[in-house]
Amino acid sequence: MINFSIPNFERFITKLFILQSNTLKNMYKSQQVIYLSGGCFWGVEAYISRLKGVNQTEVGYANGRTHDPTYESVCSGKTGHSECVKVTYNPEIISLEEILEQYFRIIDPYSINRQGSDVGSQYKTGIYWQEPSQRSTVVKFLNKKQKEAPKKIAVEAHEIYGFYHAEEYHQKYLEKNPQGYCHVDLNQIDDKEFDHLTREEYQITQLALTEVPFSGKYDNFFEDGIYVDVVNGEVLFTSKDKFDSGCGWPAFSKPVNEDAIIKHRDFTHGMVRTEVRSSKANSHLGHEFNDGPNGTKRYCINSAALRFIPKEDLENEGYGEYLSLFDQKD
C-alpha cells in the first residue's frame, strides 16, 4: 500500500504561496505546478523541461527539516530534503498524468534512496502536489502503476510542504554544461518537430532560457516588416510597434493582436514577472513590463524566438495581408 500522508511541518509556507497564486488566476492564463524528485535534479530537470506544455522548471530542495538548505547540507543526508524539480505546466497542452508517465520513464520506481549511481536520502523519488485538486490524479496514477508492478513502488506522494530554490549554478545545469553528468537518457524525448531550430532558438523557445543582452540580431534593428514565431511562423509583432528601449533585447509596445500571445505569471529567479508566449506554438518569447513609451507596455522579446520578414518579402512569404499595415500613417 502506498503511503500518501504528509507531515504538518511547514505546511503553512505552501498554503500562503498557493493563496497568493490563486488571486492571479483570473488575470493570466492558468498554469499548474507539480514537484518531482527523481535522483539528481540536473537530469530530471533537463528531461521534464523538454516536454511540450512544460513552461518553466526550477531545481531546489523539497520538504526536509531545516530552513534554507544548501547543496552541501542536503548532500550530508542530515536535512531530510530531496533534490527536486518544480514543474510549471499548461494543463491545456499537457496533463498531469502525461507528465507523470514521462517521469516514470526516467526513474527506477522501486529503488529506495537511489537513482542511477547516486545514493542517499536526497535522491529519493517523490511526487508532491501543490493544489488539493491534483491529489486524486496522483493517487489514481500511482495505484494504477502499483497494480501493474511486480513489486512495491517506493515513490512517495504527498502535498509539498517546503521548497527551497537551489543555488543558481544548478539551474538549467545541463544547458550550461552539455557534457555534464546525467543519469537520464535525454534521447527519449521526441522533439523532431524542432529540428529546424538552432540550439539557441530551441533553448529559448522550448526551455525558456534568455539570450545575453545586446547579443540578439534584432536588438538594434529597425527595418520595416513583421516578426513571426521562429517555431511555426505565427505573426507576433510588427516593426511599426518596435522601439529602442535600451534594455538589450528587442522591445515592442504591443503584439500584432492580443490573440497572438498568452501571458503567465513567472516566479523564477526570485522575481515576479509576466512571461509572454506565442499562443499557437507555446514558444517562450520573453516578458512584459509596464514601462513602455507614453504609458504603453514593453514587450521585451528574445531575438532568437523571432524570424523577421521584410516588408518587400511579405507577399512572396505568404504574409501579403500585412502589407496594408505599412500603408497606414502613424
Residue 307 predicted with pLDDT over 50: yes
Given a cut of 60, whether residue 162 has pLDDT beyond it is yes
Q: Is the pLDDT of residue 48 over 70?
A: yes
pLDDT score for 106: 96
Cα dihedral value 190, 193, 196, 202, nearest 10: -60
Q: Domain 198-326: give its CATH code.
A: 2.170.150.20
What's residue 330's pLDDT?
58
Q: Is the pTM of this model over 0.85?
A: no
Least confident range of 2-16, 116-130, 185-199: 2-16
Tell me which fold the domain 11-190 belongs to. Answer: Peptide Methionine Sulfoxide Reductase; Chain A (3.30.1060)
Average pLDDT over residues 283-311: 96
Domains of the chain by residue range: 11-190, 198-326
Q: What pLDDT, in 10s, does the model give residues 135-144?
A: 999 999 999 9
pLDDT band at 248 (very low <50, low <70, confident <90, very high): very high
pLDDT tens, position by position, 182-200: 889 888 888 888 999 999 9
Amino acid at the residue 273:
R
Whole-number pLDDT of residue 16: 46
Given a contact cutoff of 8 angstroms between Cβ atoms, the answer to whether 39 and 84 are in contact is no
Confidence of residue 58 (pLDDT cuts 50, 70, 90): very high
Annotated active-site residue in 40, 84, 182, 300: 40
Q: Count of CB atoms within 10 A of residue 137's CB?
A: 17
Looking at every residue in the chain, the average pLDDT score rounds to 90
Residue 238 · residue 228 · CB < 8 Å = no
pLDDT in the model for residue 321: 95
**Active-site residue, 75 included:** no
Which whole number is the average pLDDT over 288-308? Answer: 96
Task: Say if residues 130 and 22 touch (Cβ distance below 8 Å).
Answer: no
Cα-based distances in Å from 91 to 33, 49, 132, 160:
10, 15, 15, 19
* Confidence band of 30 (pLDDT split at 50, 70, 90): confident
Contact, 263 vs 279, CB < 8 A? no
